[in-house]
Structure 1
Amino acid sequence: MTASASPRFDLLHEPWIPVIDLNDEPGEVGLAELLLRAHELRRIAGFTPPMTAALYRLVLAFAHRAYGPPDNHEWETLWKADRFPPEPLQSYVAGWPGRFDLFDPQRPFLQCPALAAHTKSSAVKLVAFRATGNNATLFDHTTARERPLLSPAEAACWLVTVQAYDTGGTKTPYQSVKSSEKAPGNMFGCVVVEGSTLKETLLLNMPVYEPEAELPAMTTPGDHPAWEDEDPPDPKPVERTPRGWTDVLTWPSRRVLLFTRPSGEGTAVDGVVITPGTRLRGELRHLELMAAFQRPPAPRNSKKPRLFFAVRLKQRRGVWRHSRELLLAGDPDRERPRTLDELSERMDDLHLAEDAEFTLRVIGQQLAERREGAIEWWAEEEVPAPVALLRARDSRIGRLIGFAVTLADNVGSALSEMETAYWKGFQSENTKAKFTGDLDLAYWPHLNEPFTRFLRDLSAALISAGPETPAIHRWGVSVRHVAERAAEHWLNASPRQARALSVAGKTYGAFIGRLKHLVETFEAETAHYAI
């Protein structure tokens, strides 16, 4: 902060959260307006996918503290109401004066005022896609040597994102500790269940919240979000177990302080200090409600416990491959987001049509393995969530989806092996194969739409008690056609001469034969489970 000025930016009422309204028009709203107008808005839409997830999580914590809901009856009352009632929100906000001011001298929002004596860095360090340190020019050619100015609204969005998605590695130390773990958002694909309005979306992601009753699970009576802490955060990094769900949603993984200066438009953020913050203690599976988990099959004769791992997005390969983990209940090796478990129990209260469908928006960020603190990519993907599948308790459905995903994986492997066989047959053994990734791009993205259709076909079969065989057959045909087009593209994309052309033709022919076998095997295996 500057010593000569005390700027203000009230996050409750100043516009700063980017949203899309029901007419698909973009805009910005404050925290209070977002809740009071949630029935008029479509969704939160950050500048980047991680920002979208981070803002959703912040808003959910805020909504929980204002509305609970403390039990299923109250949840149903909120769901049936046209809009969020203003009285609980007004009552909550009145109890925390000054806690939502971005630049408050004593309690700046989600910040650590004890860092004021530190030398500030460029505000560019807040912005994930700008080039700073090891994140060199991955998304952008701005460097930390430049001194960009951020508006208070922009700085607030990036502040929330840093707390949820900052990279690990070496940070500016408060005293001596430089090392920091990656922020929790990097550890899983964040699953947001979307309804037709932002009001519906928020409620669909709000389990019963009653800290005194220790709900949701792992929540204690002392649970509260970061802005309700009695004192500003200690600048020294610590490690602790979360108090509960809103604590997790607003986890203070970094100590941050924004610095301002006057600008032509009022106040601008021109600097920041970011130091290591609070390390998360505990198993993510027992803490995180907006993630799906899976564990690998047990090796034969092994008595070692199998650990659960969070489902994460993979570049090129769609998140639909994890539909079993995301949608279905009842599998001991897979756990869908716990928000969906509670939602499935409320289906009767929602009075939904049999063919109703939600959308799962899955958001993730991948950090570079060989460059400390660098972001490799981020993504935001959608998976349809037909209500019939969310309610399904038939293990057959999980097996059929599993076979469908396995077919796609096996065919994808066969495509890669076709390319490997070509290089082995054409070049000397001492020459490494050259993989461009073109086959992956020609194959995986083109399966998203057919798999969406497959899930909807399965849902329709469940509703009508009809056969699943047509859906299975259509999926097999789709995979075969997509794979054939990818292989043909590979065969014809590069001019080849003489022997190279002969080797390419042989490996292509071998792939087509294997593809036929894989699809036939898929249909034979599913015949044992499909009606």
Structure 2
Amino acid sequence: MKFDVRTEAWIPVRTVKGEEKMVGLLELFQEAHCFQDIDGDTPMETYSLYRFLATFLMTVFRPETWEDKNELLSAGCFDMEKIKAYIGRCENKGISFDIFDVKRPFMQAVPDESLDTEKKIKYVAVLDSTRASGHNAIHFDHNLENTVWLGPAEAFREMLTAQIFCTAMTGGYPSNVNGVPPLFFLPQGNNLFETLVLAMSEVDEDEKIAGLPLWESNFEIVPQQEVTKTTQLYGMFFPSRRIRLIEQDGLVQQVYYQPGLHFTGFAAWNDPHVAYRPGKDNTFFSIKPSTDKEPWRNIKSISEYYDSGSIPKVVDDFYKIRKECGFSSMPVQIFGVVTSNAAYLDTQGGLLRLDARILGDEKRRAYAVTYIDMAEKVGYVLAKTLNKVISPDKSKRGNGDVSQYLHQYYMGCENNFYKVLQDLAVCDNLEKENELLAEWRSFLQETAVNIVQEFEMRYCFQAADLIRAQQEKKFFFTSIKKILGEER
């Protein structure tokens, strides 16, 4: 069987009219300005598709500066002649776009009988963290792994996702170039064409630095071979897993699956879609998703370490492009998966509503950091108080409710935060900025107090409970008064 990614329908998109459609690579590039976005089954799959498409376009157009990206945007659609010419060059080099090609399957390990043995065959469910497979957590699908059969389109999408979001596992399975999967940041355009251009990173004019993408490279994927440094294009889809799909009657039930290349040069890799922040030894590390932290709160790190170059490169380019065009709105998508060792605990997806007027102004960025810092300090005290109100001992009674109420608190903070930022963006004097800060303090106090009172009414009925609640409320009021009364 042949499945050519250029013409076969395998990429799920949503049109600007809201209709769902499955398209091939060429149709997507041809009609990208008519599509709204990628519509994957999970945030992980959606991001992996964006990353693959962006890498492909980076290889074709090779923008060297953000101005080059802005020029691409001004065209309004992709130059299909350039794309087809690049594909022709690939074909002349013997590169196949067929995912079942017997000699060089697209985006997969080249067949090697000495490496691809029967012992390395696993069920295709191993590619999908949302299905039952081995010891993986099950999120959505409860079918046994040996009953799962996937069509070529879905199997290929899962393979891309497995490469980007793989984690270090026992048996010599390494993580990807970012270590534990980080939060990925992706600017959102008015349509899919704009989003894909904005997702592209500059490609260095030096071919040795730029390198070749996975599908062009002849570098052999040797299980557990240590790699200390990678090039720009190869690193975008670094093969930390050696994978090859096995076709059977037009479907995929099994795959060759084993450890891929072992990347160790984390300090040298700067991912264009990832945000960084300094650690204790002043080395920067990528921001990871957490079940205890809502994605919008990462605006604090982006704002606080903006001048140190920790902002994702594509977001920095987005800022420059928006500023050049005279626009302030900067919607940025976030994709992530929360992991614990090799287990996937939760997926995250969201939208940051950044503002170029704030991102480009040091003083306004400082205010944004202050707003979130206050919210987090109050949130910490709130969580501590709720846990003590709900139970005086170390029992786990009501822990789920504490998390639920804390999430409710941060949801309220997020909505109000963006409203305050709108006013902050147009402030032109210190007095108005201080008024906004006072309003934010008042909002945090009122929101947190209401939650504590509601919690008390729900859980405290006996005299001992009421006495304990009153004691904890004294601690709470004293703590938040100190937090909100601190000078900026």
TM-score if structure 2 supplies the norm length? 0.90
Give the residue type in structure 2 aligned to 1:158: E
Select the residue among 279, 283, 295 that pairs with 1:319.
295
Alpha-carbon distance in 2 for matches of 1:505, 1:348 = 52
Two-structure CA RMSD over aligned residues (Å): 2.6
Q: In the alignment, is residue 377 of structure 1 matched against residue 346 of structure 2?
A: yes
Aligned residue among 243, 248, 252 for 1:256: 243
Distance 1:366 1:124, change over 3 A: same
Partner of 1:217: none
Offset of 1:433 from its aligned partner?
6.0
Alignment pair present for 1:183 and 2:183: no
Does the 8 Å contact 1:127/1:158 carry over to 2?
Answer: yes
Quote the residue 1:4 is aligned against. Answer: none
Amino acid in the other structure paired with 1:454: V
Once the two structures are TM-superposed, the CA of residue 70 in structure 1 deviates from its matched residue by: 4.0
| Cα deviation code 1:184-225 (max 9, x no counterpart) | 46432111011111111122232332442x6xxxxx356111
Deviation at 1:39, TM superposition (A): 1.0
1:421 is displaced (CA, Å) by 4.0
Distance 1:208 1:466, change over 3 A: farther
User: How far apart are residue 408 of structure 1 and its match?
Assistant: 0.9
Structure-1 separation of matches of 2:117 and 2:137: 28
Q: Equivalent residues in 2 for 1:67-78 (5 A)? A: 67-71=61-65, 74-78=68-72
Give the one of 345, 363, 381 matched to 1:414. 381
Q: Who is 2:232 aligned against?
A: 245
Distance, in Å, in 2 between the alignment partners of 1:423 and 1:159 is 45
Tell me, yes or no, if structure 1 residue 101 matches structure 2 residue 70.
Answer: no
How much has 1:316 moved relative to structure 2?
Answer: 4.2
Q: Counterpart in 1 of 2:254?
A: 271
- Distance in 2 between the 1:106 and 1:249 partners? 23
Kindly state the Cα deviation for residue 384 of structure 1 after the two structures are TM-superposed.
Answer: 0.8
Describe the superposition over 1:269-315 as per-residue Cα deviations: whole angstroms up to 9, x where unpaired: 1111210001223235642111111125x6xxxxxx32222112221
Deviation of 1:330 after TM superposition, in Å, equals 4.9
Equivalent residues in 2 for 1:131-530, closer than 5 Å: 131-144=132-145, 146-170=146-170, 178-184=171-177, 186-212=180-206, 220-221=208-209, 223-230=211-218, 233-262=220-249, 267-284=250-267, 286-296=269-279, 305-327=281-303, 330-332=306-308, 335-347=310-322, 349=324, 351-353=325-327, 356-369=328-341, 373-392=342-361, 394=362, 396-422=363-389, 426-427=392-393, 431-432=394-395, 434=397, 435-436=399-400, 437-461=403-427, 467-494=432-459, 496-521=461-486, 525-526=487-488
C-alpha distance after superposition, 1:416-465 (max 9, x if no partner): 221354478x44xxx55643334423322332211222332222326x99
Checking the alignment, whether the CA contact within 8 Å between 1:124 and 1:147 is kept in structure 2 is no
- Distance in 2 (alpha carbons) for counterparts of 1:293 and 1:485: 35
Determine the C-alpha separation between the residues in 2 that align with 1:380 and 1:403.
24
Take 1:344 and 1:367, find their aligned partners in 2: how far apart are those partners? Answer: 31
- Once residues 293 and 72 of structure 1 are traced to their aligned partners in structure 2, the CA distance between those partners, rounded to angstroms, is 20
One-letter amino acid of the counterpart of residue 70, structure 2: E
Aligned residues: 477
Deviation at 1:229, TM superposition (A): 1.4
Closer/same/farther in 2, CA of residues 8 and 328 from structure 1, 3 Å limit? farther
Q: Report the 3-state secondary structure (helix = DSSP H, G, I; strand = E; otherwise coil) of the residue aligned with 2:215.
A: helix
Deviation at 1:513, TM superposition (A): 4.4
Whether the aligned pair in 2 keeps the contact of 1:66 and 1:92 (CA below 8 Å) is yes
Alpha carbons of 1:200 and 1:242: their partners in 2 closer, same or farther (altered >3 Å)?
farther
Instruction: Name the aligned partner's letter for residue 349 of structure 2.
Output: E
**Contact 2:221–2:239 (CA under 8 A) maintained in structure 1:** no
Structure 1 CA distance for aligned equivalents of residues 484 and 404 of structure 2: 23
Q: In the alignment, residue 340 of structure 1 is paired with which amino acid? A: V
8 Å CA contact 1:61, 1:246 repeated in 2 = yes
The gaps in structure 2 that reach 5 residues or longer are none
Measure, in 2, the Cα distance between the counterparts of 1:461 and 1:417. 35
> In 2 relative to 1, CA 117–491 (structure 1 residues): closer, same or farther, beyond 3 Å?
same
Q: Secondary structure at the match of 2:426?
A: helix
* 8 A Cα contact 2:65 2:202, kept in partner: yes
How far the C-alpha of 1:55 sits from its partner, in A, is 1.3
CA contact under 8 A between 1:317 and 1:444: conserved in structure 2?
no
Q: Compared with structure 1, are the counterparts of its residues 409 and 235 closer, same or farther at alpha carbon in structure 2 (3 Å cutoff)? A: same
Deviations 1:336-385 (A, max 9, x none): 11223334344454x233xx31211111112124xxx2111110121112
Structure 1 residues 484 and 348: CA distance shift in structure 2, 3 A: closer
2 CA distance for matches of 1:271 and 1:72? 43
Distance 1:481 1:41, change over 3 A: farther
Give the corresponding residue for 1:22.
16
Structure 1 residue 117: Cα displacement:
3.5
1:134: how far off? 1.5
- The letter for the 1-side match of 2:218 is E
1:56 to 38, 43, 50: 50
Q: 1:79 to 1:466 in 2, by over 3 A?
A: farther
**Equivalents in 1 of 2:83, 2:8: separation in Å?**
16
Check conservation: 1:316, 1:444, Cα contact below 8 A. no
The TM-score, its normalising length taken from structure 1, stands at 0.83
Equivalents in 1 of 2:307, 2:71: separation in Å?
Answer: 32
- 2:386–2:452 Cα contact (<8 Å) kept: no
CA contact (8 A) 1:285 1:310 kept: no
Alpha-carbon spacing, 1:477–1:28, altered in 2? closer, same or farther (3 Å): farther
One-letter identity of the residue aligned with 1:150: L
Structure 1, residues 117-149: CA drift from partner, whole Å, max 9, x if none? 4243222112111111111434432222x3211
Residues 154, 466 of structure 1: CA spacing in aligned structure 2 closer, same or farther, 3 A cutoff? Answer: farther
Query: Closer, same or farther in 2 for the Cα pair 1:387/1:276, shift >3 Å?
Result: same
- Separation in 2 of the partners of 1:492 and 1:164? 47
